[in-house]
Amino acid sequence: MKKLSFLLIIISFALLFVSCSKTQIPQTINDFNQYYVIKVTDGDTIKVSENGETNSMRFIGVDTPELHSGDKPEGELGHEAYYFTGNAIIKKSKYFVYVQFDGDKYDNYDRLLGYIYYKDENGNLKLLNAELLEKGLGRPLFYDDTSAKKDIFTEAYKKAYNDRAGIFAYYDDPARIKKDSELEDSDIGKIRWVEFYAENVRKDGKFYKIYSDTGKFYISIRQEEYNAFFETLNPFDLKDRKIRIYGEVWKDSQYVYEILARAEFEFKIIE
């Protein structure tokens, strides 16, 4: 009986190790690259001191709403994401971040790409990338060569949805529903439920595209987020259906309104 009890204890510890290994934070600062933060640019980008020079560092796996308009519009909750990141890094972590890198250390713009940890008030290390997703202050943005913590980020975004946190605070608000034909430029950067008839669905490289029958709106889905979040919904099954999509409204270079979808719980099939 003692041998059986001892064996059960060993198995329990083994299972606990396996279950925690995905989210385990390295135990010492020596496991990280430490950087001094010169500036918080927005919710998912900071400027750090690197070898005596200033360089931008982009947070892996998360895309927060824009603070200022540019390639993408100024986004709803962009300021909230900026203040959350600033509070974590400047007020709590005293301008220092502790960084892990993945497959690629730099992106195509020579920005550093990192998993950003900060110290909270009790000296515990917190993964800021995941916290932004969990608070609904950012959306997932995955790439194959920076995917070590994709499972953590996926669960964080699902939690934001379940908690109706951040961007999902308006999910159950009927005032956020608009037909695609009613969209106007004042909706750009805002979170909306857009309702339309899906006339055409096609695969365009690494994107699924779902087009409205009016030609005024479409949905894009990146392959990486599709792989992570879509379990039962096949985009091609939406053809000739009336649907709603929840997200931030953009306008592309052809002046057509667009939402970049991230997960199947952002869709509703109306008929």
Where residue 70 sits, what CATH number does that domain have?
A: 2.40.50.90
Residue closest to 262 by CA, chosen among 213, 200, 201, 207: 207
User: Is 8 part of any domain?
Assistant: no
Query: What's the pLDDT at 28?
Result: 62
User: Is 210 part of any domain?
Assistant: yes
Residue 29 clears pLDDT 80, i.e. is over it: no
Residues 101 and 159 in one domain: yes
Distinct helix (H) and strand (E) counts, the chain: 5, 15
Tell me what percent of the residues of the chain surpass a pLDDT of 70.
Answer: 89
Query: What's the pLDDT at 196?
Result: 98
Residue 177 clears pLDDT 70, i.e. is over it: yes
48: confidence class by pLDDT, cuts 50, 70, 90: very high
62, 138 contact by CB (below 8 A)? yes
203: confidence class by pLDDT, cuts 50, 70, 90: very high
User: Is 14 part of any domain?
Assistant: no
Beta-bridge partners for 203: 208
Residues 159 and 179 in one domain: no
Averaged pLDDT score across all residues of the chain: 91
Greater pLDDT, 2 or 267: 267
CATH at residue 217: 2.40.50.140
User: Is 222 part of any domain?
Assistant: yes
Task: Summarize the confidence of residues 155-166 as an average pLDDT.
Answer: 98
Residues 136 and 245 in one domain: no
Report CA 221 to chain centroid distance, whole Å.
Answer: 13
244: confidence class by pLDDT, cuts 50, 70, 90: very high
Residue type, 217: F
User: Is 69 part of any domain?
Assistant: yes
User: Is 231 part of any domain?
Assistant: yes
Query: What's the pLDDT at 55?
Result: 96
Report DSSP letters for 48-101, one per residue.
Answer: EEETTEEEEEEETEEEPPBSS-SSS-B-TTHHHHHHHHHIIIIIITTTEEEEE-
128: confidence class by pLDDT, cuts 50, 70, 90: very high
Q: Lowest mean pLDDT: which of 101-110, 126-135, 161-170, 177-186?
A: 101-110
Domain termination residue (choose one: 133, 153, 168)? 168
Residues 36 and 141 in one domain: yes
Task: Summarize the confidence of residues 226-236 as an average pLDDT.
Answer: 98
Domain termination residue (choose one: 116, 146, 168)? 168
User: Is 248 part of any domain?
Assistant: yes
The model's pTM: 0.89
Structural domain including 229 reads 171-269
31: confidence class by pLDDT, cuts 50, 70, 90: confident
Residue closest to 266 by CA, chosen among 257, 120, 238, 106: 238
107, 113 contact by CB (below 8 A)? yes
19: confidence class by pLDDT, cuts 50, 70, 90: very low
User: Is 180 part of any domain?
Assistant: yes
Domain termination residue (choose one: 149, 168, 187)? 168
Residues 207 and 251 in one domain: yes
Residue 2 clears pLDDT 50, i.e. is over it: no
Residues 160 and 178 in one domain: no
Tokens of 253: 């270079």
Query: What's the pLDDT at 70?
Result: 85
Greater pLDDT, 52 or 208: 208
Residues 164 and 42 in one domain: yes
How many domains is the chain partitioned into structurally? 2
Residues 60 and 164 in one domain: yes
Residues 161 and 33 in one domain: yes
Residues 204 and 235 in one domain: yes
Residues 34 and 161 in one domain: yes
